[in-house]
Amino acid sequence: MGRVKAQGTIMTAKPNTRAMLRRAASLSVALVALPVAIVHAEDVKLDPIVVTATKTATKLSEVPASVTVITAEEIEAQGSANLGQILARTPGITLVSSGGIGAYSNVRMRGMPAAHSLVMIDGVRMNDPADSMNRGFIFDSVIPHNIERIEIVRGPLASLYGSAASGGVINIITKKGASDGFHGGIKGEYGSYATRRLDGNLSYGGKLDNDMPFTLSYAHSEYIANGPNISDEDRAFHPAAKRPNEDDRRSIYNHSLDFRLSPTDDIDGRVFLSFNDLSADVDGTAADAERNKDKRTTNFGTTWDTRLLDGRLENKDSVLGMTTANELYYYSQNPRQAYAYRGGFLQFEHLSTYHLTDDHAITGGVSYDRSRAERNVNKLQTIDQTMSHGTGMLQLQSTFFDDLHVVAGVSYESYGAFENTFTYRGGVSYDIRETGTTLRAGAGTGYLAPTVFQLTNYVNPTTLEPEKTTMFEAGFDQKLLGDRVNLGVTAFKNKAKDQIAYSDLASVCTTASDHKCYVNIDEMNSKGVEAELGMLVYEGETDSLDLHVGYTYTLAQFSDKTYSNHAYENISPHVVNVSAIYGFDSGKGSVRADATFKSRGWEKSHYDATRTSSYPAYDGDGWYLNLAAQYEIMDNVTLYGRVENLFDSEYYTTSGYTEAPFGVYAGIGYKF
């Protein structure tokens, strides 16, 4: 039950290194003084296998990177249908949401824009090339029912995954079917704002006539609610604007089909297809705009794993793709004004890992992908463009003297529209077994190309150039009290040159008649510290208490004051997440509390004086609290309940939008 503790946390070299080290040291002392924790004893001791950080199956303790694994058990214990909110409890991740489930929402790692974080579902890249907002993945329609685990790697991974992974990767891995006959389950929920949720799955596994193992599984989720709009009376409305009516309907339907088989002991194949349909009312930051958006997303792919030379050579061949269709329209206008965006991504990849010895492996791969973006305004096409991209990568993993783990990688990026370039990444970790200490450090570069939308939608005053990022991190993990306590501290520093920014200033967009454009600005920097402390506070014969505290300090700034004269919008300098999990009746039941506290420095931001309008500061609450409980009332039948935002806090995630108000939800689930 609970999050597997991040084994890699890393600090960073920076101009003010001494100040950062003092901050990290004082933070460590402060956290040790707190009665805090995470995970059960068995979670602390196990060493799970992760794939995302190196593209090979590697023990978490041997990964020289900052990694967090969120399990299906923790997702179920939290009960929330909001995946972004679950991710936001991870150190270094900021959720930016304009209305909760069904509305625009994305996450930012370590202060960097959402575009620098690659989001994958079963290896399919989900960042939409036709996204007009920020190039980051929009978490508006992902219901976490069918997720087996989420691997989060903070730090540069462009040498493994290419463009869009320069700041980190969130890899969502869905559940696979059972291998021994029929299995399945169903869960229903009802709650505030007429919220109805239904999750179900069915799978069958066995062997074909030729003894070939296979599994076939289907998963379904649906979520329907009549609100809330997530706004309050302090929101910045124009005096003549119509205020939201707090009854914005949203519906989400998801269908997933997965087929796996093993023709031989050394060959595993998979074919999968998923379809997601979203419809939601959305509001602008200045008024109830009476807008609706429809979004349909399709993921598909096939992967084949082969093992040769007695398993020393592992190959993976993949064909992966996604399509999106977004329509935003104003239903109060006559005739209705509609904007349609369609995006697509198709990738071919071959990856080979050769194990030279048990301690040394080399991985090489090539990939080719093609992205496409279309835009229509009132059925008149304004964009229909494609862009291709090829990558070759090489990575070396080595372990020396059983305690020193090294990863080094390089990739060559080839674009059809930009200069080709190399990116690199290196990391090292060292275990001091006598003291239970692990030291880690890493560095890497990234190369983030503009999207088709950014290149073609507006008349930009200059030709856009790719963003170039450099990242450093270093830190340590410390086990205490017989592995019952884990402390991790990481410091980081990121720099992005030629940052791509949107502007609507006439002084900047000099060639655009509508004064809207994208431009490269000089530079963006972010730096900070992440810390986690986990402890098994109490363990009896039938009950236990776990506590966990995570803290993140982030400072992110643009160097060009034309676009921002304050810390990067929506990034709070200080964020603390606290979780307490009480298990009872020999594991049949649990009660969980999740609280978030943050400083509100970004809410004091204001636009540049050249703008014609201004918005007031937002002085809402800097915290909120969720409660969740579950109890197995009989074999395979479990009752669920949760309270969101117990004290109805006005907790802002972005200007004009708060976390969901107070709500009560209950449900029942059955598994077979």
For 340-368, how does the pLDDT look when each residue is reduced to its tens digit (9 = 90+)?
888 899 999 999 999 999 999 999 999 99
Of the chain, the percentage scoring pLDDT greater than 70 comes to: 81
Query: Would residue 1 count as lying in a domain?
Result: no
CB 55 within 8 A of CB 363: yes
Residue 42 in tokens: 């068995």
**Mean pLDDT, rounded, of the chain:** 82
Phi, psi values for residue 30, rounded to 5° = -65, -40
**CATH number assigned to the domain comprising residue 387:** 2.40.170.20
- To which residue do tokens 């880690």 refer? 440
Sign of torsion, CA 11 15 21 23?
negative
Please state the three-class secondary structure of 17-70 as a single string.
Answer: HHHHHHHHHHHHHHHHCCCCCCCCHHHHHCCCEECCCCCCCEEHHHCCCEEEEE
For 19-29, how does the pLDDT look when each residue is reduced to its tens digit (9 = 90+)?
433 433 333 33
Q: How confident is the model at residue 614 (pLDDT cuts 50, 70, 90)?
A: very low
Q: Kindly tell me the burial class for residue 445, based on how many C-beta atoms sit within 10 Å of its own C-beta (0-12, 13-18, 19 or more).
A: buried
Beta strand 574-584 with 517-520 is unpaired
SS3 516: coil
Domain of 99, in residue numbers: 17-671
Mean pLDDT of 184-203: 95
Q: Where is pLDDT greater, at 241 or 303?
A: 303
Q: What's the number of CA atoms in the CB half-sphere (13 Å) around residue 76?
A: 19
Q: Which of 112-126, 279-293, 598-612 has the weakest average pLDDT? A: 598-612
Q: How many domains does the chain have?
A: 1
Query: Would residue 10 count as lying in a domain?
Result: no
In the chain the first and final C-alpha atoms are separated, in Å, by 20
Mean pLDDT of 466-478: 92
Q: What's the number of CA atoms in the CB half-sphere (13 Å) around residue 71?
A: 13
Q: How confident is the model at residue 36 (pLDDT cuts 50, 70, 90)?
A: very low
Query: Would residue 12 count as lying in a domain?
Result: no
Query: Would residue 4 count as lying in a domain?
Result: no
Please enumerate in sequence order all residues whose Cβ is within 8 A of that of 221, keeping only pairs 6 or more positions apart, or say none.
143, 145, 146, 197, 198, 199, 200, 252, 253, 254
Query: Would residue 628 count as lying in a domain?
Result: yes
- To which residue do tokens 């071919």 refer? 348
The answer, yes or no, to whether residue 330 has pLDDT greater than 70, is no
Query: Would residue 428 count as lying in a domain?
Result: yes
Top mean pLDDT of 48-57, 72-81, 328-337 is at 72-81
Nearest to 425 by CA among 153, 157, 44, 145: 157
Q: How confident is the model at residue 560 (pLDDT cuts 50, 70, 90)?
A: low
Query: Would residue 34 count as lying in a domain?
Result: yes
How high is the pLDDT of residue 200?
A: 96
Residue 411 in tokens: 């990739």
For 56-69, how does the pLDDT look when each residue is reduced to its tens digit (9 = 90+)?
888 877 888 888 88
CB 93 within 8 A of CB 608: no
CB 418 within 8 A of CB 478: no
Q: How confident is the model at residue 501 (pLDDT cuts 50, 70, 90)?
A: confident
Mean pLDDT of 652-656: 73
Query: What's the predicted TM-score (pTM) here?
Result: 0.86
Q: Where is pLDDT greater, at 611 or 376?
A: 376
